[in-house]
Amino acid sequence: MSNFWKKLSKPFTALAPMDGVTDFVFREIVCEIAKPDVLFTEFTPTDAIVSKGYNRVIGNLKYSEKQRLIVAQIWGIHPENFYKTAKLCKNLKFDGIDINMGCPDKNVVKIGSGAALINNKKLAEEIIKATKKGAGNIPVSVKTRIGFAEVVTENWISFLLKQDIDAISIHGRTAKEMSKGRADWDEIAKTVKLRDTLSPKTVIIGNGDVLSYKEVLEKSEKYGVDGVMIGRGIFSNPWIFEKTQNPLSHSTEEHLRLLTKHTKLFCDTYRNEKDFNTMKKFFKIYVRSFRGAGKIKKQLMECKNHEDVERVVLPYLSNLTTP
């Protein structure tokens, strides 16, 4: 397996890992309509993967060939579990393995994992070493933030760059900031400068508040990043990865057809594995900014399966298409 990070033409795009959002089905939908260059799985707990929690979380590591380049994101606290999970990801033929060192969720941080690793370099180093050992020749990356409680970009990123990792995705906020305020792209630019001196081969991916492909080009030009990662921007435009400076406008009909497709794939794939309510948080992506959207959304919230969704959407679609 080669290090794909080095071969990507710049600036490349990546769909951010988002727990409860970028699952197998949503990634299939995104790949079908406007595919980013790199996709990440939702973060997957290494402790569960190596224990009886396996059946509960292994679904996070399901992907299809269509989703390549696909990177497995993993999190945890015990280096030996990172080693075993990385080995599993290698056997599953992922293109890359990414270590989460940025999650600010209190359940993750309170056990010393995710963003808490920014304050524990010794453990961070052991985790990276163990993951690299398990990954063999698969590239290993880290996704992180510019600090935990305070901005410590220089200190933290210099440390990471000395660990011989293939890529770093950097979200321009501290963990304490969660998603509040604006992402600080000047700090992301500092990361690029540090990289240039400390580890020129490490790829830098900037992340935070990007809402269009035009902005991908602007950010990479202005701040020097090799690639740009987009998370929440996909909620306002599922076609966000269309590589065009002037975003095409997608009709209400296209949005609603995509909603029915997504819902059907969700039901066919997850059957009883995931509650249908999980699907409901995606509705707002497709049902927005058109006359009658509020009414449809209300009806959709009552649905229990994809047949119900079609019963709501199809009559509306036939009204749209009849002259």
Ligand X SMILES: Cc1cc2nc3c(=O)[nH]c(=O)nc-3n(C[C@H](O)[C@H](O)[C@H](O)COP(=O)(O)O)c2cc1C
Structure token pair of residue 123: 């453990």
Residue 73 binds ligand X (CB under 6 A)? yes
CA distances to 94, 164, 180, 250 from 12, rounded to whole Å, are 19, 21, 26, 23
Question: Which of residues 62, 133, 232, 261 is near ligand X by CB under 6 A?
Answer: 232
Per-residue contact flags (x/-) with ligand X for residues 94 to 123, judged by CB under 6 A: ------x-xx--------------------
Structure token pair of residue 14: 């990546």
Fill in the DSSP letter of residue 121: H
- Return the range that interacts with ligand X (CB under 6 A); candidates 84-92, 227-235, 241-249, 314-322: 227-235
E strand or H helix that includes residue 204 = strand 203-207
Q: Using CB atoms, what's the residue nearest to ligand X?
A: 231
Question: Which of residues 231, 238, 256, 309 is near ligand X by CB under 6 A?
Answer: 231
Per-residue contact flags (x/-) with ligand X for residues 258 to 297, judged by CB under 6 A: ----------------------------------------
Helix residue ranges per DSSP H, the chain: 4-7, 24-33, 46-49, 54-57, 79-91, 106-109, 121-135, 153-161, 185-198, 213-223, 233-236, 252-270, 276-280, 283-286, 293-300, 306-321
Asked if residue 38 lies in contact with residue 11, where contact means CB atoms within 8 angstroms, the answer is no
Place of tokens 């990007």: 210
Question: Which of residues 8, 14, 21, 117 is near ligand X by CB under 6 A?
Answer: 21
Question: Which of residues 19, 32, 37, 154 is near ligand X by CB under 6 A?
Answer: 19
Instruction: Compute the least distance from the CB of residue 71 to ligand X, in Å.
Output: 11
Residue 43 binds ligand X (CB under 6 A)? yes
**Dist CA 95 CA 70 (whole Å):** 6
Instruction: Of 54, 53, 106, 109, give the one whose Cα is nearest residue 77.
Output: 109
Q: Which residues contact 138 (CB under 8 A, 6 or more apart)?
A: 1, 86, 89, 90, 94, 95, 96, 97
- Nearer to ligand X (CB atom), residue 238 or residue 316: 238
Question: Which of residues 27, 35, 143, 195 is near ligand X by CB under 6 A?
Answer: 143
- Nearer to ligand X (CB atom), residue 184 or residue 209: 209
Catalytic (active site) residue 103:
yes
Options 31, 89, 103, 267, the catalytic residue: 103
Which residues in this chain contact ligand X in the complex, by CB under 6 A?
A: 16-21, 42-43, 73, 100, 102-103, 143, 171, 207-210, 230-233
Active site residues: 103
